[in-house]
Amino acid sequence: MKISRKDVEHVALLARLELTEQEIEQYTEQLDSILEYAATLDRLDTENVEPTAHAVPLHNVLRADEVKSSIEREKALQNSPDAEEGFYRVPRIV
Amino acid sequence: MELTAKSAAELHTLLESREISAVELTKAFIERINAIEDKVKAFMTLTEESALMQAAEVDAKLSRGDKLRPLEGIPMALKDNMCTEGVRTTCSSKILENFVPPYNATVAELLRQAGAVMLGKLNMDEFAMGSSTENSAFHVTRNPWDLERVTGGSSGGSAAAVVADQAVFTLGSDTGGSIRQPAAFCGVVGMKPTYGAVSRYGLIAFASSLDQIGPFTKDVRDNALVMNAIAGHDPKDSTSVPYDKPDYTKFLLNDIKGLKIGIPREYFGQGIDTEVDKVLRQALATLGSLGAEVEECSMPHTEYAMPAYYLIAPAEASSNLARYDGVRYGYRTEDSEDIISMFKKTRAEGFGSEVKRRIMLGTYALSAGYYDAYYLKAQKARTLIKQDFDRVLEKFDVLVAPTAPTVAFKFGEKSTDPLAMYLSDVCTVPLNLAGLPGITLPAGFAGGMPVGLQLMGKPFDEGTLYRVAYTFEQNTDFHKAKPAFSGEVA
C-alpha cells in the first residue's frame, strides 16, 4: 500500500476538505492505485536530470512601477457571500 | 446549406455582400440552439439579448458602408472557465454556480473587440478536470454523432456546439488534451497553441504551467482566423510570451511537398484501437501521397508522460484551488462554527468528487516527505519528455499521432474508474508537458464515430501545423460530414 487511511485523513485536513466516511475509504483505495501507477516513474534514472517547472521559462516579468487604476471596491466585493462596510465578513477567528 | 452550417469565412462574405444581416445570422443560431439543445446540452448559459445587441451594432456598421473585420458579426461561444464581465461563469462547478465576474478574460475582450457575437457559455468537466464532460456539476453534454456517447472533455460543450452548428466557432482550454480530445471525438478542428501564445488572463486556473486556450472550428481556415484574433503577448499574463505573431492565414497553402513528417512509434503502440489505427494509417498514406516525407521515429520517454502529468497537474491544481474558501466569491456553507470548519464544509459541499480527488492527490504529492519522491521526480521526467520532443523536432517539421486511443465512449463506461478515464488522454498529455502546439482534425470514421489526426509542432510554429492540416483537409472530405443525432437521449 502506497497510502493509508491515516494519510488520507491527514491530507484532507491539509487540503481543508471535510470528507465523509465513504469518501475516506474510496479515496484511500483510488489514490493508492493512482500512486501505484505513478511509481512507473521509479524506473527512470533521473540522477543527473534538472527538473522542469515550466516549458517556457520566463524570469522576473515586471512592469514599470506606475500607479494604475484597479477594480473598484464595490465591484470586487459583489461576489462575496458576506460583506459589510467594505470588508469581507467571516466567522470569528480569535 | 443551412446558414448555421457555414464557416466564418463563408459567413463573412455573405455579411459583407449584405445577403444576410448580422441580426438575421444571430437569430438563426438562437433558433438552431433552441431546436436541438435539449438533445445536445452544450451550453451552461445563453446570452441571447446581448448577442442580438452586438449583432445590431455590426449591422449599423454595415449600413454605414464600413468594411467588416473577419470575425465581425460571427456568432461564437466560450467555455465556461473564461471570465465574462456581467455574465455568469461557473466552471461547471457548484462552488462558482452564481459567480458573475467583474472583468473579461483577455480572450473574451479580444473577441469582443474583433466584433464576434457571444451566444453564451459552454458546459465542461468541473474545473476542466475530466475527459468526458460527465464531471460537470450540472448536466452532461451528448455527442451529436451518437447521443449515447460522450463528447470527450473537458471542453465537451465547446466541441459539441461547433459540430451541432450551435456556434460558428468556440474557445476551449487544454491542460492535458481538453481541446484536442473532444475535438477528435466530435469531428471538428481543435488547436492547442504553444504555451504562452494565447493569454490566460481571466481563464480560471487548473494547472497553470499546462493550461492553454485555443479555438474549435469547422475547418482549418476558420481556426487560423480565430488564432489571429486571440494570440499575442498580454502584459496581464506574466507567462505570456512576447513573440512576432504572424498572420496565420498566410500558412493556408495546399502544399506539403518536401515537408518532413515524423511518426513517433510509441504513439501507435498498445492501447490504440485497431479501427482507429487503420484510419490513421490511411491518413499517413494520404500525407505521403501529397508529397511529404513520412518517416518513423522514436520518443522513448512517452510512456512516462501520463504518470508525470497525473502528479504535476493535480499538484498545481491543489494550490490553485486553495482560493475557493467561501470568503471572497463563490459558494459558502451555511453550517459552520468557526473559520476552519467554514473552509472545510464550503469545499466539501462545493466541489465534486473528481475535483476533490485531484486536490487530495496533489496535496499528497506536495506534502512534507513525499515532495521529492513524487512532484520533483515528475518534474524531472518532464525534462526527459521535453528533450524527446526537442530531439525529434530538430529532424522533423511536424509529428503525427492519434489524438485519442479510441473513438468517443459511452456514458458511464469509464466514470467509475479514474485511472481508465485518465488513460484516454495518453496521446495528448505529452505535448502539454513540453509546452508545444498541437492540432487535431477529422481524419475518418471508425464504427460511425469520428477519428482525429493529431499534428504536433515546434514552439510558436502553429503556422506549419495549419499548412499540413489545410493540405490534408483540401484533399479529403471528412470535415464535411454531418452528425445524425442518432441514439436515445438517456
Sign, CA torsion B320/B326/B330/B334: positive
* Per-residue model confidence (pLDDT) at position B168: 98
Is the confidence at residue B417, as pLDDT, over 90?
Answer: no
Is the confidence at residue B60, as pLDDT, over 90?
Answer: yes
Over residues B205-215, the pLDDT tens digits come to: 999 999 999 99
* Per-residue model confidence (pLDDT) at position B270: 76
Over residues B131-145, the pLDDT tens digits come to: 999 999 999 999 999
Is the confidence at residue B372, as pLDDT, over 80?
Answer: yes
Q: Where are the domains of chain B?
A: 11-255+476-480, 303-377
Residues ≥6 apart with Cβ < 8 Å to B214: B171, B172, B173, B174, B179, B190, B191, B192, B193, B198, B227
Over residues B387-409, the pLDDT tens digits come to: 999 999 999 999 999 999 999 99
* Per-residue model confidence (pLDDT) at position A25: 96
Over residues B421-445, the pLDDT tens digits come to: 888 899 999 999 999 999 999 999 9
Check if the beta carbon of residue B154 is closer than 8 Å to that of residue B124: yes
Tell me what the mean pLDDT of segment B108-135 comes to: 98
Cβ-defined contact of B381 to A93 (cutoff 8 Å): no
- pLDDT grade for B271, boundaries at 50, 70 and 90: confident
Is the confidence at residue B181, as pLDDT, over 70?
Answer: yes
**Beta-bridge partners for B112:** none
Over residues B196-207, the pLDDT tens digits come to: 999 999 999 999
Task: Output the furthest CA–CA distance in chain A (Å, rounded).
Answer: 58
Tell me what the mean pLDDT of segment B155-169 comes to: 98
Q: Domains (ranges, CATH) in chain A?
A: 1-43 (1.10.20.60)
* Per-residue model confidence (pLDDT) at position B1: 81
ipTM of the complex: 0.95
Cβ-defined contact of B337 to A55 (cutoff 8 Å): no
Distance CA B130, CA B92 (A): 12
Active-site positions of B? Answer: 79, 154, 178
Is the confidence at residue B384, as pLDDT, over 80?
Answer: yes
- A52, A62, A65, A92: which to substitute to probe chain B, counting the most B Cβ within 10 Å? A52
Our CA-based measurement puts residue A21 at a distance from the nearest CA of chain B, in whole angstroms, of 13
* Per-residue model confidence (pLDDT) at position A60: 80
Cβ-defined contact of B343 to A16 (cutoff 8 Å): yes
Superfamily of domain B11-255+476-480: Amidase signature (AS) domain (3.90.1300.10)
The amino acid at B21: S
* Residue B16 cell numbers, joined: 459583407
- A45, A56, A77: which to substitute to probe chain B, counting the most B Cβ within 10 Å? A56
Across chain B, mean pLDDT equals 96
Our CA-based measurement puts residue B338 at a distance from the nearest CA of chain A, in whole angstroms, of 6
Over residues B303-317, the pLDDT tens digits come to: 999 999 999 999 999
Has this prediction a pTM greater than 0.80?
yes
Is the confidence at residue A58, as pLDDT, over 80?
Answer: no
Q: Which of A3, A40, A51 sits opposite B304 (nearest CB)?
A: A40
* Per-residue model confidence (pLDDT) at position B443: 98
Place of cell 506606475: A66
Over residues A9-50, the pLDDT tens digits come to: 999 999 999 999 999 999 999 999 999 999 999 999 999 999
* Closest B-chain CA to A38: B307
Which ranges constitute the DSSP H helices of B243-352? 274-289, 305-320, 339-350
- pLDDT grade for B296, boundaries at 50, 70 and 90: very high
Over residues B235-247, the pLDDT tens digits come to: 999 999 999 999 9
Distance CA B220, CA B235 (A): 29
Considering chain B, what percentage of its residues have pLDDT values greater than 70? Answer: 100
By CB atoms closer than 10 A (0-12, 13-18, 19+), residue B313 is buried
- pLDDT grade for B415, boundaries at 50, 70 and 90: confident
* Per-residue model confidence (pLDDT) at position A77: 95
* Per-residue model confidence (pLDDT) at position B490: 62
> Which of 60-89 (A) contact B at CB < 8 A?
61, 63, 71, 75-76, 78-82, 88
